[in-house]
Structure formats: C-alpha cells, structure tokens
Amino acid sequence: MDKFMDNKWFIRIVALFLALLLYVSVSIENNDKNKDVKQKVENDVVENMPVELIYDQQNFVVTGAPETVDVTIDGPKSLVKTTKNLKDFTVYIDLSNAEIGKQRVKLKYKDLSDKLTAKISPAYATVDVQEKVTKEFKVDAEFNTNLLASGFESESPIVDPKVVKITGAKNVIDQITYVKATIDAKKEINQTITRNAKVQVLDKSLNKLDVEVDQDTVEVTIPVKNPSKTVPITVNPIGDEKDGVVINSITTEPKSIKIYGRNDVLKDIKALSVDVDISKYDKDTEFDVHLKVPKGVNKIEPEVVRVKLNISDKEEEKTIRDIQVSSTGMNENYTMQFLSPANGMVDLTVMGTSNSLKAISANDFNILMDLSGLAPGDHDVNLKVEGPNDVSWELSNKTVKIRLTEKEDENI
C-alpha cells in the first residue's frame, strides 16, 4: 500500500478521480438550480374567476361589481396548472365597512399557495352600495292584441297574484315605472286563455332593472269574447221591373240576422243589405240568398235567408170617350132631352192590367140612368155603369141633367 501511495501515477489517478467527482457534483447542482429558476417564471391565466362580495346582505344591496375576473398566476409550472384547473382560491371584494354610495374598491384574493403570486384584471371596480328596501307593486298584464282572431276582442286581463314584492337598492326601486307580465302566445287567440307569464320590472325607458321579485311568474287570464248584434235585413232591388208587371213587395225570412265581430265594427252596421235583381221575375217567386259577410265581421247567423217576391200585373188606364148614356124606366108618355151634357155622352176612364185593357172598348160598357117615377121637368140623374169584372172605372160625369116633357096628344 505504501508502494501505491509513493507511486506518482497512483496519486495522479486519485486526483483525476476527485476532480471528476467534483465536476459532476457541481454540474448536477447547477442543473437543479436552473430547473427551479425555469419553474418560477411559469405563468398562466385563470379566466372567468367568480368574484365574491362580502357585505351586509340583510340591509344593503351592491351593484356595479364584476361577476367574474381574469387572474394571472405565477409560480412552479405544476402548481400553476393545478391551481388553474381546481380554481381553489377566492377572489373577493370586502365591503364590510363600506359607506353608502359609489366607491372605487380593490379586488383581493385569498387561499392561494404562498409559492404562487397573482395579478387580478381588473384590479379595481367601482361599486354602488345602497340601502336594501322592499316594496309592493301592482302587476299589469299585456299581450299582443294582433294575435286576436278576426272579430274577437279581449277584456281586461286578470292577474293572480295582482301584487308582487320587489326588493332592491333604494335608488333602483325608486326608478321602477312598469311591472309587467307579458303573455307569450304563438297562434291566433279565439277563446279565453290562461298562461304563466314572467314578471318584468322596467324603468320609464323600458330598461330592465336589477331587482329581486318574490314571485318570478304570475298567472294571467285574458278573457276573450266574440261580440254580437242583431240587425234587420234590407232588400236592395237591382234593375227594372219587367214590362207589364209590378213588384208589390220583397220580404225575407228571417227579417233580421245576428252578426259577430268587434264592437267598434258592429256599432257602424245598422242593417245587412240583400241585392235582388228584379228584372228576372214576372210572377210570385221565392229563392235562397247567401249573405255577404261585411268587412270586420267574422260570423253571421244564419248565412242563408229566404227571399219572397209578391208580383202582380201592372195597373194601367185607358179612357174611352163619348159613350152614349142609355135610360130605363121612363114613362112612355114623356120625352127626354139632355141638358148636360147636351149630347148625352160621357167619358169613361178604365183601370186594369195591360192584358185586360188591350181589347176593351165602349161596347163592353153600358151606362144607364134610371128615370122611373120622375115627373115632367128638369132632373139631375145618377149614372150607373155595367162592365167587365176584371177592370175598374171612373166616369167623367157621375150625373147628367135631363128634361122630361109630356108628349102632345095627337087627337087634339
């Protein structure tokens, strides 16, 4: 062993070994240090980290605070990755001692590993701390009236409950102008409907307000009706009567009809008219007519009416002139002289249908005066007319003036 120790090559080999051992040791230590330095500069962003508000929720309301923030964390790579995945730390705003009103506050974090550092974005927020109040408001229901079927109309909506309690910041509660429940209907409405409707709280500009409603939805009933009205049926004759006939009457069965529609339409409808072309008919006739539905009316009852025409031949006049007056019952010992009219003739105006007047003449009439029992002298005598049964007549003179004289005795 002493020989090895005295050998210079042995000493040289041991020295070389120790030098190599020292080099490797220093190299490993430097690598570990470099590795630790590399891990410390690793960073990542935790996005949408919820923000917790710490304040007296019983008596105050806070608005303006961000719901989430982004947090950049620095530290060892594995720890950064784990923290990002678990989000096992808290971002918060401490308003325990905040005063009422708007204020700029710093966002903080806690429960983060002391091997990590964090940077919150945004770092500050402007929040508004207000007194918490609760008030009751009446709920107004509404829906799109354009969805009502033609002719239908709605009455005032019924809301249950009528009143809701709304809680929020006092300055926000003071802005409430409308509390509405809007029915969402997707098709035509032709009957009363009941729906659940979400309550909306709005300001005067119809902006939605950040408040709490004790009942998010209410039950809304929209009473829907189809108003009706009974109106008479009137006949509107079209065209001219046929020659030789006269239409005495045109009637309908029924004489009135029920119409359905909105009240603003019904109030202007006083009657329902039926057009009848009278140029087609020359005798009594009955037929059915389908009624036209007026604009704005959605239903009529009945839809068909019976029309009746009463038709007769047209009455005409014909004057027969200079018909000789005949006499009966005159004493054979008298002679007669016409004083007025001097010629003993009168005119006769005859009334009847055109067919009955076509062939009628003076020969069809006998105009008589009865002279029975009359003594000599001047007399006004009534006239009597005998004629056909299907006509009527009127004399130009209802009486004539005559003179009766005795005949002279031929033996004297």
Q: What is the number of other CB atoms lying within 10 angstroms of the CB of residue 371?
A: 17
The whole-number pLDDT of residue 350 equals 94
Per the prediction, the chain carries an average pLDDT of 88
Residues in the chain: 412
More confident residue, 30 or 405: 405
Which region among 183-187, 196-200, 247-251, 385-389 has the lowest average model confidence (pLDDT)?
A: 183-187
Query: Given 3.40.50.300, 2.170.120.30, 3.40.50.10490, 3.20.20.70, which CATH number is that of 316-406?
Result: 2.170.120.30
Q: How confident is the model at residue 130 (pLDDT cuts 50, 70, 90)?
A: very high
Q: How confident is the model at residue 29 (pLDDT cuts 50, 70, 90)?
A: low
Alpha-carbon distances of 32 from 8, 16, 49, 349, rounded to whole Å? 37, 25, 34, 146
Judged by DSSP in three states, 264 sits in helix
Q: How confident is the model at residue 374 (pLDDT cuts 50, 70, 90)?
A: very high
Encoding tokens for residue 120? 């919150």
**Checking DSSP bridges between strand 140-142 and strand 178-182, what pairing results, if any?**
parallel
Strands (E), 111-175: 117-121, 124-138, 140-142, 153-154, 158-160, 163-169
Instruction: Residue 72: name the closest of 94, 41, 104 by CA.
Output: 41
Query: Given 3.30.950.10, 3.90.600.10, 2.40.50.1020, 2.170.120.30, which CATH number is that of 43-131?
Result: 2.170.120.30
Cα R_g (the chain), whole angstroms:
59
With contact defined as beta carbons under 8 Å apart, do 76 and 39 qualify? yes
Quick check: 205 pLDDT over 60? yes
Quick check: 6 pLDDT over 70? no
Quick check: 258 pLDDT over 90? yes
The whole-number pLDDT of residue 110 equals 95
What is the separation, in whole angstroms, between the first and last Cα of the chain?
A: 231
Percentage of residues in the chain having pLDDT higher than 70: 92
Q: How confident is the model at residue 203 (pLDDT cuts 50, 70, 90)?
A: very high
Distance CA 120, CA 75 (A): 15
CATH number of 139-225: 2.170.120.40
The whole-number pLDDT of residue 22 equals 80
The whole-number pLDDT of residue 346 equals 95
Distance CA 57, CA 130 (A): 11
The whole-number pLDDT of residue 26 equals 62
The whole-number pLDDT of residue 410 equals 53
By CB neighbour count within 10 A (0-12 exposed, 13-18 middle, 19+ buried), where does 145 fall? exposed
The whole-number pLDDT of residue 37 equals 47
With contact defined as beta carbons under 8 Å apart, do 392 and 351 qualify? yes
Cα angle for residues 150, 153, 155 (degrees, 5° grid):
165
Distance CA 194, CA 286 (A): 49
The whole-number pLDDT of residue 316 equals 85
Quick check: 80 pLDDT over 70? yes
Quick check: 17 pLDDT over 90? no
The whole-number pLDDT of residue 359 equals 84
Distance CA 192, CA 176 (A): 30
Model pLDDT for residues 291-316, shown as the tens digit of each residue:
998 888 989 999 999 999 998 888 88
**Checking DSSP bridges between strand 163-169 and strand 212-213, what pairing results, if any?**
antiparallel
Average pLDDT over residues 268-285: 90
Average pLDDT over residues 213-220: 92
The whole-number pLDDT of residue 13 equals 77
Strands (E), 226-340: 228-238, 245-253, 256-261, 272-277, 285-290, 297-301, 304-313, 315-328, 334-340
Encoding tokens for residue 348? 């006769």
Q: How confident is the model at residue 412 (pLDDT cuts 50, 70, 90)?
A: very low
Encoding tokens for residue 264? 């603003």
Count of H-run helices and E-run strands, the chain: 6, 31
Average pLDDT over residues 15-41: 63
Model pLDDT for residues 149-167, shown as the tens digit of each residue:
888 888 888 999 999 999 9
The domain 228-313 having CATH identifier 2.170.120.40: the answer here is yes
With contact defined as beta carbons under 8 Å apart, do 192 and 221 qualify? yes
Q: Which residues contact 299 (CB under 8 A, 6 or more apart)?
A: 151, 226, 259, 260, 261, 293
Quick check: 36 pLDDT over 60? no
Quick check: 323 pLDDT over 80? yes
